[in-house]
Amino acid sequence: MKIIENRKIFFAVSVVLICIGLAAMALNANAGRGALNWDVEFTGGTSMELDMGGAFENDTLEDIVREVTGQTSPQIQQVIGTNSVGIKLQSIDSEMRVALMDAVTKTYPDAELTEANDISGTVSGEMQQAAIKATLIACVAMLLYISLRFRDFRAGGSAIIALIHDVLIVLSAYALLRIPVNQSFIAVLLTILGYSVNSTIVIFDRIRENKSAFQTGHAAEKINKSVSQTLARSINTSLTTLFTIGAIYILGVQSIKEFSLPLIVGIVAGAYSSICISGSVWYTFLPKIEKGEKA
């Protein structure tokens, strides 16, 4: 496989995808919707999910919500392909939630509350901090492990770049598809990190093992061969994981769809980055003499 020879194409594809995601974030932020679709867990407030039990008018529902709560900018979003709708508000108390449901069922008698969340500012602040802390600690721990394991900053650094790549791709998916960013977001990110490191390590292990089989100056062939040797594994493993996560996405309820969709994106991105990006980045870091170029 000519991975190294085509590395610039691979880099370009990734950069373009990530730029699209960043652009989506910028556009969303400009439109006043937030760069990402922050859930009440991180912003504080009340979210309610209703099964309307039949067809309904978004505007009528919005009018009801405005009237009962007195809030000027409730966010109301229908779950595509269903009669379910999500409502996001500044925090309202139990009495007002009851009043709101009473008003809704007056117009839509079959409407039913399926889920409600109310998060105060204190708690959302704590959740934000815990999320940032968890991500940072996990990244540092993995970084340490990778550096210890490879004792080679070029390998470790390339693995980390592949990781950052995967995180950015997953973030782009969150921005483009407006997937709610809540506690599961952290779980998704860390799972993808673990998963992607795993694939990269399998390939890098092989590169190290093939070291003696190639002479200095043939790094490109060495990396290409290692990637090819592990290719079946990379693809088969991604496939089996996609079978299970895919089944969960297709059959699951809304909240688990929001959890499994970015996981699917991440697993595909992880497979791509470990095959096409990680080895290529390593190659880029190598000194000229190992690449067989004149120093």
Partner 1 sequence: MKMKGRLMLLVMLVVAIALGAVSYYGIGEDGQMSAAQIKQGLDLSGGVDIVYEADQAAVTEEEMAAAISLLQGRLDWNGWTEAEVAKEGDKRIRVQIPGVENAEEAIQQIGKTAQLSFADEAGNVLLTGDMVRNATKQVGAMEQNGPSAPYVALEFNDEGKQRFAAATASNIGKVIYIIMDEKVISAPVVQAAITDGQAVITGQFTGEGAEELASLIRAGSLPFNLNVIQMKNVGARLGADALSAGIRAGAIGIGLVLLFMLFAYKVLGLAADWALLIYMGLEVIALSVLHVTLTLPGIAGIVLSAGMAVDANVVIFERIKEELLQDKTLRSAVKNGFSRALPAILDGNVTTLIAAGVLFFLGSGTVKGFATTLMIGIIISMFTALVITRVIVKGLIYAGVHNPKYYGLRTK
By CB under 8 A, is residue 190 in contact with partner 1?
A: yes
Binding flag, residue 22, partner 1 (CB under 8 A): no
Q: Does 153 bind partner 1 (CB under 8 A)?
A: no
| Stretch of 15-23, 69-77, 130-138, 277-285 contacting partner 1, by CB under 8 A | 130-138
Distance CA 186, CA 164 (A): 14
Q: Which one among 243, 287, 289, 293 touches partner 1, defined by CB under 8 A?
A: 243
CB of 284 to partner 1, least distance (A): 23
Q: Which of 175, 164, 163 is nearest to 22 (CA)?
A: 175
Give residue 125's identity as a one-letter amino acid code: G
> In the set 12, 247, 289, 293, which binds partner 1 (CB under 8 A)?
247
Name the token pair of 165. 């790549």
What are the C-alpha distances in Å from 251 to residues 85, 134, 179, 236, 258? 19, 30, 18, 23, 12
d(CA 93, CA 7): 56
Pick from 141, 134, 198: which is nearest to 166 by CA? 198
Q: Which of 42, 56, 108, 195 is in the footprint of partner 1 by CB under 8 A?
A: 195
Position among 20, 194, 211, 288 found at the interface with partner 1 (CB under 8 A): 194
**Which range touches partner 1 (CB under 8 A), out of 11-19, 27-35, 61-69, 235-243?**
235-243
- Burial group, residue 30, by CB count within 10 angstroms (0-12, 13-18, 19+): exposed
The encoded tokens of residue 252 equal: 């699951």
152 in contact with partner 1 (CB under 8 A): no
Per the CB < 8 A criterion, the answer to whether 48 and 97 are in contact is yes
CB of 218 to partner 1, least distance (A): 20
Q: Which of 10, 174, 259, 272 binds partner 1 (CB under 8 A)?
A: 259
State which residue, 37 or 199, has the beta carbon closest to partner 1: 199
Using the rule CB under 8 A, is 197 a contact of partner 1?
yes
Gap between the Cα atoms of 207 and 202, Å rounded: 9
Q: Enumerate residues 6+ apart whose C-beta is below 8 A from 67.
A: 103
Neighbours of 223 (CB within 10 A): 26
Rounded to a whole number of angstroms, the minimum distance from the CB of residue 245 to partner 1 is 7
Q: Does 252 bind partner 1 (CB under 8 A)?
A: yes
Q: Which of 31, 55, 80, 250 binds partner 1 (CB under 8 A)?
A: 250
Site for partner 1 in 159-188 (CB under 8 A): 183-184, 186-187
DSSP output for 28-52: HHHTTS-SS-B-HHHH-EEEEEEE-
Determine, following the binding rule CB under 8 A, whether residue 82 of this chain makes contact with partner 1: no
Q: Is 113 helix (H, G, I), strand (E, B) or coil?
A: strand
Residues within the interface to partner 1 (CB under 8 A):
93-95, 97-98, 101, 112-120, 122-123, 127, 130, 133-134, 137-138, 141-142, 145-146, 149, 183-184, 186-187, 190-191, 193-195, 197-199, 201-202, 205-206, 209, 229-230, 232-233, 236-237, 239-241, 243-248, 250-253, 255-256, 259-260, 263
